[in-house]
Amino acid sequence: MHVLSSVSDDLAIARHRAKLVGSQIATKFPALPSTSSPSPRALRVRKPTLPENGSSPCLDGPAPSTLAPDSLALSLSLAARVMARVHAGQSLTQALAILGKTEPAARAAAQDVVYGSLRRYGCGEFILRRLLQRSLPHPEVQALLLGALYRLQTRPESGYMVVDQAVAAASELAGGGFKGLVNGVLRNYLRQREVLHAAMLDDDEAAQQHPGWWLARLRRCYPESWQNIVAVGNLPPPMTLRVNRRRATLTDYATRLQNAGLSARTAGGDALILAKPVSVDALPGFVDGLVSIQDFGAQRAVHLLAPLDGQRVLDACAAPGGKTGHLLEMADIQLLALDIDGNRTRRIEDNLQRLGLQAKVRVADCRATDQWWDGRPFESILVDVPCSASGVARRHPDIKYLRRESDIRRFARIQTEILDKLWPLLKPGGKLLYATCSVFPEENGAQIDAFLFRQPTARRLDEERLLPQEEHDGFYYALLRKAV
């Protein structure tokens, strides 16, 4: 599902290496436009869009800080730098890379601010439109204010302490020239908090914490359930484990968790959902491959495809490798895993090494079959296509800011190309599982209906629509068989 990587195996490994604390990772956000002194009512937030070429302005990473390493000021300062990079067009994962050498505790605290701020899409922006007399010229200061507003909303009893820490953070941003503005804006918020929050209820984007175009689509497609989809998308996700059945049983690993003081419940298949997220360092046997971190909905893919021993299998869009590992845990197969991104392909290899599994991994565009296919058909194909990732926004809150409505059509065209290119590679009688982490029908059922119309040898065996719920993210699966 070629999206910003989530709390899946690649993220878990990165966290283990950095010895991070906590389960969230973060980052992104829009800044106010730099126009000349419009009225507060006219002032609008510029929503960043997904760059066609992934480019973004160069922003400096964190400089050596004089702030206390365990201070809220440091976490706000770091979070502001991360979020400003996302505003410039970077993904959350890319932006977080600037914290790579930060101490684990400070990094975790900054990530908490970023994730919390981004999940509350539109809330901070709504407040700033009413408190600022003109636009801010510096994106890091805009980001600092949004992060501080998030913390003020989650720690209302510590209001003036948060303001003081935000002012301290402002001393390290934009040459320290906005300390007075930060102080004034945040103190005005504290004085007007009740009025501002009451007014926010009349602003659709701020009240629902989703972009307007996204809300319109959800209301149209899911008139009975859109509110639940939105509500779930604004919450922190659960931490779900997938037990490696080659190295442990579900019961045995649940006992190991209990002995480590961790509470979990079964969710079906190989899944255990922790009562509360923890560092991967706290998971018994994680580094030895006993368990992986993967959403329960994502685990459904391999159970639906159900590969058999000895089969030749293609994982066409494999990074970061969660489903790749699950395929190999399920059966003794000959697996080829492809991904177009070399950096993400290395994460597949890292995951397989940790799990003690082997597959042929290649950097390739799965559509360019003449460059990688050896002419031998596959008996099973998993195609986890690039998509809008609208079903996993709670894990990747930057999606709310980076995604554009026009991206849906762009992703649909890519999905069509992938299906048409890979279908000839499937052996007659073989199965192909089409997977997305989207809730939008254009990428899901409508895509498969169109494919079945133009491909007479395809038959739909099964279909699952998993809308985002407390226990799992949003996914779509269609299992197809090629006629003999």
203 Cα distance to chain centroid: 25
pLDDT at position 88: 85
Clarify whether residues 302 and 195 are in a common domain: no
> Phi-psi bin for 255: left (phi > 0), alpha (psi -120 to 50), beta?
alpha
| 198 and 300 share one domain | no
- Residue-level pLDDT at 465: 98
DSSP category for residue 178: T
Determine the pLDDT at residue 66.
86
342 is in an annotated binding site: no
Residue 473 lies in domain = 296-482
Domain boundary among 169, 202, 235: 202
**Residue 220 domain-assigned (yes or no):** no
pLDDT of residue 64: 66
268 is in an annotated binding site: no
**Is there a cis peptide before residue 238, judged by omega within 30 degrees of 0?**
no
Q: What is the CATH number of the domain that holds 147?
A: 1.10.940.10
The pLDDT value recorded for residue 61 is: 58
Residues 301 and 442 in one domain: yes
Distances from the Cα of 24 to the Cα of 6, 314, 402, angstroms? 9, 31, 19
| pLDDT, tens digit (0-9, with 9 covering 90-100), for 21-72 | 233 323 222 332 333 333 322 223 333 222 233 333 335 556 667 898 899 9
CA atoms within 13 A on the CB side of 465: 12
Both 302 and 412 in one domain: the answer is yes
Q: Single out the residue in 174, 202, 230 at which a domain terminates.
A: 202
Total domain count, the chain = 2
Residue 272 in any domain: the answer is: no
* Confidence at residue 62, expressed as pLDDT on a 0 to 100 scale: 62
Is 368 annotated to bind a ligand? Reply is no
> Is residue 194 one of the residues assigned to a domain?
yes
Q: Is the domain of 34 the same as that of 180?
A: yes
Residue 105 near residue 69, CB atoms below 8 Å: yes
- Residue 482 annotated as part of some ligand binding site: no
Distances (CA, A) of 22 to 101, 191, 282, 324, 393: 17, 33, 10, 25, 19
SS3 at position 324 = helix
> Does the annotation list 365 as a binding residue?
yes
Residue 4, domain member (yes or no): no
Q: What pLDDT is attached to residue 9?
A: 41
Q: Do the annotations mark residue 384 as ligand-binding?
A: yes
The residue out of 145, 179, 202 marking a domain boundary is 202
> Active-site residue numbers?
437
Q: Splitting the chain (484 residues) into consecutive groups of 10 residues, what average pLDDT does each group show?
A: 40 37 29 30 29 39 77 96 91 93 92 95 94 90 97 91 97 94 97 96 97 98 98 96 97 97 96 96 97 98 98 97 98 98 94 97 98 98 98 96 96 99 98 99 98 98 98 98 96
List, in order, residues 6 or more apart from 185 with CB less than 8 Å away. Answer: 128, 131, 132, 145
To the question of whether residue 321 is assigned a binding role by annotation, the answer is: yes
Say yes or no: 197 and 336 in one domain: no
**Structural domain includes residue 247:** no
Query: How does DSSP classify residue 382?
Result: E
Q: Are residues 80 and 191 in the same domain?
A: yes
Residue 373: which of 346, 339, 336 has the closest Cα? 336
295 is in an annotated binding site: no
Tell me: do 192 and 323 sit in the same domain: no
Kindly state whether residues 56 and 187 are assigned to the same domain. Answer: yes
Strand order across the 240-243 sheet? 264-268, 271-274, 240-243, 291-293
Alpha-carbon distance 264 to 153, whole Å? 30
CATH number at residue 372: 3.40.50.150
Both 303 and 175 in one domain: the answer is no
Asked if residue 36 is part of any domain, the answer here is: yes
